[in-house]
Amino acid sequence: MLITSLLPLLTHYSLGFDLVAGPDETVTLTILPRKVAGATHNPQAAEARPISITANAAEIDAELERGADGALGQLIASRKTLADQIAQQREADEAAKTAAAQAATAKSTAIKPSAPTTPIKAPAPTSPPADATPAEPASLW
């Protein structure tokens, strides 16, 4: 029943397991979602958080037998929905970036320069009058 319960997660992730015996015959089952080898989807930190269940072995078995109605099944469904929402948001972001780039390209080709393309020449500097001396500034009159 464990594998059947985890099939929804296996569509998006590679899974690792850790089983640890605790006090009073409790067991902690930790499921570690990882990126599937060769997949283009990189899981976000929230998607890749480990899932831990601590209870006695019979309780864990009973919870896993509940399948989609159990706590693990509901958590898997929530994570699957979250992963789907993230994928949809990424697609929407890429579409928006593409649309913005196309709009910017269209806008830059539509703008025509209104000023003349030849530069305006500055007046040539004039030399000081012939009677100017370094001690006295040249007169404007």
- Across the range 100-118, mean pLDDT stands at 74
Residues 6+ apart with CB under 8 A from 48: 13, 33, 34, 35
Q: What is the pLDDT of residue 28?
A: 93
Q: Is residue 137 part of a domain?
A: no
For the chain, the farthest-separated pair of C-alpha atoms sits apart, in whole angstroms, at: 113
Number of domains comprising the chain: 1
Q: Is residue 50 part of a domain?
A: yes
CA-to-CA distance for 51 and 72, rounded, in angstroms?
8
- Across the range 11-24, mean pLDDT stands at 86
Q: Is residue 18 part of a domain?
A: yes
Residues 6+ apart with CB under 8 A from 73: 5, 66, 67
- Across the range 72-77, mean pLDDT stands at 74
Give pLDDT tens digits for 123-141.
Answer: 666 666 666 676 776 666 6
The chain-wide mean pLDDT, for the chain, equals 78
pTM: 0.50
Q: Is residue 90 part of a domain?
A: yes
Tell me which residue range forms the domain holding 61. Answer: 2-104
**Helical packing angle, 71-110 and 2-10, nearest 10°:** 10
Greater model confidence, 106 or 122: 106
